[in-house]
Structures are given as C-alpha cells and as structure tokens.
A = this chain, B = another copy of it.
C-alpha cells in the first residue's frame, strides 16, 4: 500500500494522523488478512503500549474512509485487509486460509440485481468456500451466506 495515499486519506478526512493509525496501516500494508489481535501484535513491535481498543477504533475509522475492508465469516474473529483493488474471497473451511481472487462478470450481475430492487450505494462480495488442496480429506462444513 502506498503510504502517500494513506496519509493523504487520513489528512483529507476529519481524522488526525497519529502514530497508532499510521502503524495500523503499515501493519496491513503487506497485504494479508489479519485479525485485530494479529494487527495488535504487529503494531506493538513499534508501539508497545497500544491497546486492542485502539486497534478496533482505528480499523473502524479506516473502514469509514475506505482504506480498509473487513471480512467476517461465521463466528470467528473478523479479518481486516487494505482496500486495494476490488476482489473476492476464497476461504478454506478447514484451515481457514483466505485468498483473494478476481471474478469477471460479478459486478454486472450485482449491479443488475441492485438496480432491479432500487438499491443505491451498492457494494457486493462473492465468497467461495470449500476444501483447499491441502485439506482435501476431512469432515465438511456448510453454507457460504
């Protein structure tokens, strides 16, 4: 993630650019899908006193500005990622690994449905779940929303 964009995003907003916020964005810069807890650990390597509350508050702000995207799936902790390109998610229900994928055509389908129903300010997300190659044996879970 481009730090100029990051700082600009915060500065242009009504929010202040603090070292905690910059650190959270830096933690997400590597492109992973991180839980709040994991982000806390990463941020604490530079700022040992940060609290989990601040992480959550920061992530919420960054989401509001559009710099961060949340992925939450059934029960366990939500995962956060830098909002770069539009993409979809491929989740292994066994090892819970999450991967980004591109999917042509979904945008049109979603836009068309939304238009039919009179929705505005539309966003959409396709989540594909299953067993990844490494987890190909084992008991199965159901449902992808």
Interface size counted on chain A using CB atoms at 8 A: 49
Contact A103 to B109, CB < 8 A, known contacts A122-B128, A145-B71: yes
Contact A105 to B109, CB < 8 A, known contacts A122-B129, A127-B127, A128-B114: yes
Contact A125 to B123, CB < 8 A, known contacts A71-B145, A74-B72: no
Q: Helix, strand, loop or mixed for chain A's interface?
A: mixed
Q: List 15 A–B pairs whose Cβ atoms lie within 8 Å, in order of A's numbering.
A: A70-B74, A70-B145, A72-B145, A89-B145, A92-B119, A99-B117, A101-B117, A106-B109, A106-B126, A119-B133, A121-B130, A122-B129, A123-B129, A123-B130, A125-B126
